[in-house]
Structure 1
Amino acid sequence: MQFKTSYLLLVFGLLLLVSCQDYDEFQNDPNRTTQANPGLLLTNIEVSTLNSIDLNASMASRHLVNVNLVEDSQYYGWDRASFGFYNTLRQVKKMEEEAVNFQNQNFTAIARFFEAFIYEQITRQFGDIPQSEAMLAESGNFQPVYDPQEQVYLRIFELLEEANSLLEVTGPAINGDVVFNNDLLKWKKFINSFHLRVLMSLSVREDDPNLNLPSRFNTIYSNAGVYPIMESTDDNAFYSYSEETGNVYPFWRNASITTSYILEETFVERLKTFSDPRLFEMASPDSNSSDDDPLSFDSYSGLLGSAPLNANVARLTSGEGSSLNSRYVEDAEAEVNLSLGFAELNFILAEAAHRNWIPADADGFYEAGIRASMDYYDIDANLVDNYLAQPIITYQTSTGLEQILTQKHTAMFLNSGWEPFYDNRRTGFPEFNVDGGGIINEEGVPKRWMYPFSEINQNVDNLQQAIQRQFPLGDNVNAVMWSIQN
């Protein structure tokens, strides 16, 4: 009996000892890592965030027309969008946490950049958005307040300043980088060039003393040692496609692309008027053309983006309408996915000079932007010189803003995402035709997207406050957000 009692006491003691151990010790598998290399997150963040090939954007921006469906993006019939970018922002925050664990400040810098990039994407769609309380779900805040758009942009400026100052060109390497392959100087140029894009996107508010846009812009432009920016097309921000890696161009072997999408008429007619050789790289001759001379501008035509679907189908049946160049579906590496390029930067600088934000001549940047865009298509240098020599192309101060934005629009064909649409919303250039009889929105080109249904279900009080603060007539696509109010 004494032996049994001693045995039971021993077993009880062992159980008590085990029960006193931290419960978390039993949750951690010693054979599994509890940390993730930030490079594993970076690749997906880059590919998902910087994807700039968007057919909806191309239709809304009057580059392409769909002849199979009545697309909301083409006929401006959209209403709500989602807050999907916040999911990517969670990955960015996780990458920033892991950057601290790995003691790699350059990952922290890039995380700050992507945070700024994503917030800009979201606020341009809606207006006021959750920002200061957006990433506090882990602490129990599932109903974040909406920050006024001006405060959102001021925070974006701060994030971009932090990204530039934190990034050490000679510092620790980053892995998983499919954009610049660990070229940290190119990253720094990208960050600051993007900063200039954001500043110019707010040009309507150039007199706002809180934003101080001209001064901010000139500070970056005039201090290359602190704020390096893109210097050539070699600095373009893009990622490549390849059949070997299985990451192929999105339209590759998709025959429906060349049968469903036709170049938009006003876009094609402009290229023909300008004798623009880029047309031959973008499009195929229409069905009425002669096979004898595919490089004749007479062989190309477009369909009107604002015309009813049946009217465009009838014109297509009669032989009108140039489809996309066959290379887009036949070549797995047809083009790179260009997010922000040297051409765009030059047009931004040209506009800044035109607006007297920087002490420079707009015509030099205007020409450099055209040359960089031609280089993107590998256009022969003699053809480029001939193009620039045309009086209709020569920069004129009186029409300078329209010329800059029109050339910028051409340079952004099937790249740069929604930038050409937002440029038109901001400046009115180039003009988007809405008189064809098929436009769904009674007021023409919408100014924004309505807030997502998920916010009505989950965060309605804060949502309603934001709507009332911005839009007295309610949440609708024609409401004018703060950033584009005159």
Structure 2
Amino acid sequence: MKNLNKLYILLFAVLVFATSCEDLTEINEDPNRPTEVPVEYLLTSAERQLGNRLYGGFDNVAFGMTVSQYWAQNEYSDETRYQFRANTNNTFWSDFYTAINDLQEIKKVNTTIDKGQQGINQNAVATILQSWAYHSMVDIYGDIPFEEALQGVDIPSPAYSDQELIYSALIDSVSSAVAAIDPSAPGFPGGDVIFDGDLSKWQKFGNSLLLRIGIRLSDVNPSLAEQTISAAAEGAMKSNADNAAIQYITAQPNVNPLYVSYVVNGRQDYCATENFIELLNGLGDPRIGEYFVPAANTGTFEGLPYGVTSAVAAGISRDAVSQLNPQVYAADFPGTLMGFVETSFILAEAASNGWIGGSAADYYAQAITASMNYWNITDGNAIGDYIAANPYTEDNLKVQKYIAMYYEGWQSWAEIRRLDLESLPAANLVEIDPAVNFVDVSNILNRRLYPQDEQNLNGANYQNAASNIGSDAYDTNLFWDLD
């Protein structure tokens, strides 16, 4: 009997413990802190992360805008001589992949809930933006982790995929995503700081992205370029109102990153380059006053020589050269991912190749007009006169696209390489004097080096990638850059 009583006590204790554990589990599930993040939060996070990296002080500013020779440095001119901060490159890479992973999480969450067409629309939006991010990374570095990326602990050290194969995969992914969207059905209930949930604009963005991918292939794979562009052209952006851009606002922390650098931190480190000012002045381009302000000392537009040493740059007064127009570092100045201007230039090129209908000259005029309008120049007669003075030719298209891509440093850099603008005297780009350069490269860089963290933490795959592209060097061409 005594032993039986002990058994009952033991069984009672077990039951109490089990019940208590069940109750504790329920208590530990905080209803105000769900374990599953709403998909709209993931979208906002990815969009802001990509925008802040693309337009951050050490990314678009200290790399994109300087390598593209729009901006020189008032002092500390290391970046214009290709001396870049390793930590900045590490952060750019990791933040892009964080955003790409957030977009992948949207698709993972949607596999657990049957949302019907809404889930399909959300997945398509995530795929388009994810593809934009991957494409940007390929055109900056070359081979990158793609097929084995985003696997977490399953593949902590992902292999790099061939850049040309990534291009093909992105064409398929974006094409499928655009086709899957039904604008009449719901998408994201909130959180979209690019298009505010407008699915028809996401379709136009996807088609315009296909144009960008296609035109990069024009020299290396013209048949795929024609196929891609001809299929997407009709559904691409129709006006500046369709621009894909991060819509910054005037309230912190959701402001233009350049505003933080220039206004909050007071770091007004950049000014116009001498060669870009000469180009704009020589053409009588009215956008010069929208891009820059006249030099305080003279009241005229003046630029700083590109690629000079920090000592030389510091010796030139800020008042002697044109500084940035304050509108570009306004808190709510948008961060463009792709716009109607670029789309129109691509269509002009495609029309000249016979890949689409329409006149190359008309698309060219459309592109310049859209660029002028974007930069607050709306006098139709003045725009017409400018186009008449710079009529459509292959070389003029190259120069005008370079001018119009101002403030989109990363994409301008890609087009400089594809169009070989450094070899076109009319573009007025300069070679850096190797005697004052940090690296043995005097022309425009062909790519960005892989981050130091990849070399340290993913060494074997890094070495394979470097070998596959030719060398992890600034002068290694990407696969689409034949010259």
* Gap regions ≥5 residues in structure 1: 291-298
CA distance in 2, matches of 1:68, 1:464: 36
1:200 equivalenced with 2:207 (yes/no): no
Shift of 1:378: 1.6
Q: For 2:219, what is the secondary structure of its paired residue?
A: helix
Distance 1:366 1:438, change over 3 A: farther
> Which amino acid in 1 is paired with 2:156?
F
Shift of 1:15: 5.7
Q: Do the aligned partners of 2:141 and 2:450 also contact (CA within 8 Å) in 1? A: yes
In structure 2, the residue matched to 1:177 is 192
In structure 2, the residue matched to 1:403 is 396
CA distance in 2, matches of 1:264, 1:408: 18
TM-score normalised according to structure 2 size:
0.86
State which drifts further: 371-380 or 17-26: 17-26
Q: For 2:206, what is the secondary structure of its paired residue?
A: helix
Q: Do the aligned partners of 1:251 and 1:257 also contact (CA within 8 Å) in 2? A: no
1:470 equivalenced with 2:481 (yes/no): no
Distance 1:22 1:219, change over 3 A: farther
1:480 equivalenced with 2:477 (yes/no): yes
In structure 2, the residue matched to 1:325 is 325
Q: For 2:144, what is the secondary structure of its paired residue?
A: coil
5 Å-filtered alignment, 1:6-25, equals 7-12=8-13, 14=15
Distance 1:431 1:419, change over 3 A: farther
CA distance in 2, matches of 1:328, 1:151: 37
Q: Do the aligned partners of 2:71 and 2:273 also contact (CA within 8 Å) in 1? A: yes
> Which amino acid in 2 is paired with 1:218?
S
Q: For 1:424, what is the secondary structure of its paired residue?
A: helix
CA distance in 2, matches of 1:167, 1:233: 22
1:385 equivalenced with 2:384 (yes/no): yes
> Which amino acid in 2 is paired with 1:305?
Y
* Gap regions ≥5 residues in structure 2: 422-426
> Which amino acid in 2 is paired with 1:480?
N
Q: Do the aligned partners of 1:347 and 1:405 also contact (CA within 8 Å) in 2? A: no
Distance 1:250 1:128, change over 3 A: closer
> Deviations along 1:323-380, whole A, 9 cap, x unmatched?
1124445x443x3222211111101111222333323321111110110011112213
5 Å-filtered alignment, 1:300-339, equals 300-316=301-317, 320-328=320-328, 331-333=330-332, 335-339=333-337
Shift of 1:466: 2.3
Q: For 2:160, what is the secondary structure of its paired residue?
A: coil
Q: Do the aligned partners of 1:112 and 1:163 also contact (CA within 8 Å) in 2? A: yes
> Which amino acid in 2 is paired with 1:113?
I
Shift of 1:246: 5.8
Distance 1:252 1:469, change over 3 A: closer
In structure 1, the residue matched to 2:124 is 109
5 Å-filtered alignment, 1:49-448, equals 49-51=50-52, 52-53=54-55, 54-56=60-62, 57-72=64-79, 74-78=80-84, 81-82=89-90, 83-84=93-94, 85-102=96-113, 103=115, 104-138=119-153, 140-174=154-188, 175-207=190-222, 212-221=224-233, 224=234, 228-243=235-250, 247-252=254-259, 254=262, 259-290=268-299, 299-316=300-317, 320-328=320-328, 331-333=330-332, 335-381=333-379, 382-390=381-389, 393-396=390-393, 400=394, 402-414=395-407, 416-429=408-421, 430=427, 432-436=429-433, 438-444=436-442, 445-448=444-447
> Deviations along 1:224-273, whole A, 9 cap, x unmatched?
3xxx2111111111233332576334344835868522101111111111
Q: Do the aligned partners of 2:208 and 2:237 also contact (CA within 8 Å) in 1? A: yes
Name the structure with the higher helix share: 2
Identity of aligned residues (%): 27
TM-score normalised according to structure 1 size:
0.85
Q: For 2:166, what is the secondary structure of its paired residue?
A: helix
Shift of 1:315: 4.4
> Deviations along 1:266-313, whole A, 9 cap, x unmatched?
1111111111111111211113325xxxxxxxx111112123333344
In structure 1, the residue matched to 2:455 is 456
Q: For 1:322, what is the secondary structure of its paired residue?
A: coil
Distance 1:442 1:219, change over 3 A: same
Question: How many equivalent residue pairs?
Answer: 456
Shift of 1:120: 1.2
CA distance in 2, matches of 1:239, 1:259: 23
> Which amino acid in 1 is paired with 2:61?
L
CA distance in 1, matches of 2:266, 2:281: 23
> Which amino acid in 1 is paired with 2:275?
T
CA distance in 2, matches of 1:22, 1:213: 61
CA distance in 2, matches of 1:145, 1:328: 39
> Which amino acid in 1 is paired with 2:229?
F
In structure 2, the residue matched to 1:41 is 42
State which drifts further: 253-262 or 343-352: 253-262
Distance 1:162 1:273, change over 3 A: same
Shift of 1:116: 1.1
Q: Do the aligned partners of 2:70 and 2:273 also contact (CA within 8 Å) in 1? A: yes
State which drifts further: 254-263 or 36-45: 254-263
State which drifts further: 193-202 or 307-316: 307-316
